[in-house]
Structure 1
């Protein structure tokens, strides 16, 4: 049997480059990309996508939709790294650890939508707690996240790594209109009845994310506290290879969270920081926005799909 053909459409952006780097030495698949002269040739792209076994789309949303619409070969399977299909009901959400059976659904899927970087942290923290009934679906969720500048794509990298980078800002809070495109994805896949408040930011480091969610225990059931929340997350991810819950005794010793500590990996670390005196809890996720938040997750999903190829 010949090795499956994996076509990366859009391999020159930050996500595509990292996926290519992670796959280029693999011998269990044939990796296909288009030369520069053919990347904008719709006919050539359609030929490539219909000749592959699995296509990984690293494109702007509109281009990703066009690529999917160009597929006429019913055997072609797709991993879309754009946000074009993340709330589409007929696409499988590519977060294997999200719920029991999700990895199996991804393995058997024809259409998988890779999660956004910020939603990976938010859904990873909150979906298990919502499913366990520890947080009601109408809780007023507030999320703050700081990402490395590569989260902006080429524009962010050029701003911070070009000759004029001395003028690049050290820190930028954005999405001030509270209409970030990841918010509907976060709401849908956590299972919130109300739209969460999501405030993102960029820092002057290349990659990595710290995402935090504060909770007021007075708004939760009387028996819910930091220990309860931590135990739920620890149970949910007990067998997960790439999502780890920091023990409470270790989180008590932390003085700060480093967004870059897991860079270059496909891992995510979740922490719970209780303040019982004031009945407050801080939930936190740390991961690489180009790893578990993008390219690493795509390769993880690819490997699941290849297991059924």
Structure 2
């Protein structure tokens, strides 16, 4: 598999938020070597192509168009091409790329381990897919069920300009966005959740650096068999029994988004009112952990066949993992 005794990785775009956190996690791994390009030549295609030829795996932490160009650059190496792990949106619904959510099915981790090209999931879709897909597969949710996903994220997921605005205290405390209802994550969410009806997705950002909650309201009396909240929780618990990172936990009266920061953990809950036949599904996780960099390192470990550390060290929340 490896071109040398220790697998080597090049992060194309390591100066961004996701790239920096992937690099920080990889620095904890003695059995993976990270190769970097001269900063003065990071936009030089030939320099990048030459480095790609020397490594086992390239992580693409780039805007979509740049990720496509980088993937083509790697492909031009033919037999010397490295394996690719793309953190952008560019290839998430491309059938030639494996979808990098190991918990998607019982076979997904094996598929990722064998794939030459893997697309890391989006932060927002990760929790919604993990909530919805088991319920669709169990027949509890019809595939054409009208679904709305509401989500809030810390500002670190919004790129350098958003981060700068929040840290300069010029951004609002809370903001809904994507209200044209054409967010680029919707296609990925629909495909991998197993939905035939396009869901409504409303993202938002709050004045905290990282952390995320997805929430999905349901009218249970409109579903086949009128399932109870306990039925939904049982289906999710059965699906993720034994999972290393996904936990189905009892519902709380309140939920804040930052409790799992700096870990790769993701918590699923079913908040229900049986008398009213109402439920709200929630997923809580770190948008930079299981929503981005932690997930990328989890996938990288599968692709390279090495144990990995998905959390950041020396943070209280990481101790739970």
TM-score, length basis structure 1: 0.95
Distance 1:73 1:7, change over 3 A: farther
Which residue is 2:304 aligned to? 306
Which residue is 1:99 aligned to? 105
Quick one: which of 3, 6, 10 aligns to 1:3? 6
Output aligned runs, 1:1-309, within 5 Å. 2-71=5-74, 72-74=77-79, 75-162=81-168, 165=169, 167-247=170-250, 251=251, 254-307=252-305
State the Cα distance separating 1:33 from its structure 2 match: 1.8
State the Cα distance separating 1:239 from its structure 2 match: 1.1
Q: Which runs of 4+ in 1 moved over 4 A?
A: none
State the Cα distance separating 1:9 from its structure 2 match: 0.4
Bigger Cα displacement from structure 2, 220-229 vs 56-65: 220-229
State the Cα distance separating 1:35 from its structure 2 match: 2.6
> Aligned-pair RMSD on alpha carbons?
1.3
Q: Following the alignment from structure 1 to structure 2, what is the Cα–Cα distance between the partners of residues 60 and 244?
A: 31
Native 8 Å contact 1:78 1:111 kept in 2: yes
Q: Following the alignment from structure 1 to structure 2, what is the Cα–Cα distance between the partners of residues 25 and 178?
A: 40
Per-residue CA distance 1:36-72 (angstroms, 9 max, x = gap): 2011111111111222101110000001000110122
Per-residue CA distance 1:8-47 (angstroms, 9 max, x = gap): 0000111000000001232101101223201111111111
The alignment partner of 1:52 has SS state of coil
- The size of the alignment, in residue pairs, is 301
Q: Following the alignment from structure 1 to structure 2, what is the Cα–Cα distance between the partners of residues 245 and 141?
A: 21
Native 8 Å contact 1:148 1:202 kept in 2: yes
State the Cα distance separating 1:168 from its structure 2 match: 2.0
Q: Following the alignment from structure 1 to structure 2, what is the Cα–Cα distance between the partners of residues 106 and 2?
A: 22
The alignment partner of 1:257 has SS state of coil
The alignment partner of 1:178 has SS state of coil
Native 8 Å contact 1:209 1:260 kept in 2: yes
TM-score, length basis structure 2: 0.91
Per-residue CA distance 1:208-261 (angstroms, 9 max, x = gap): 0011000111221125221111001001111110010003xxx2xx22111000
State the Cα distance separating 1:73 from its structure 2 match: 3.7
Q: Following the alignment from structure 2 to structure 1, what is the Cα–Cα distance between the partners of residues 215 and 229?
A: 15
The alignment partner of 2:103 has SS state of coil
Native 8 Å contact 2:221 2:227 kept in 1: no
Question: Structure 2 regions of 5+ residues with no counterpart?
Answer: 307-321
Native 8 Å contact 2:97 2:117 kept in 1: yes
Q: Following the alignment from structure 2 to structure 1, what is the Cα–Cα distance between the partners of residues 259 and 269?
A: 14
Bigger Cα displacement from structure 2, 41-50 vs 14-23: 41-50
The alignment partner of 1:70 has SS state of helix
The alignment partner of 1:235 has SS state of helix
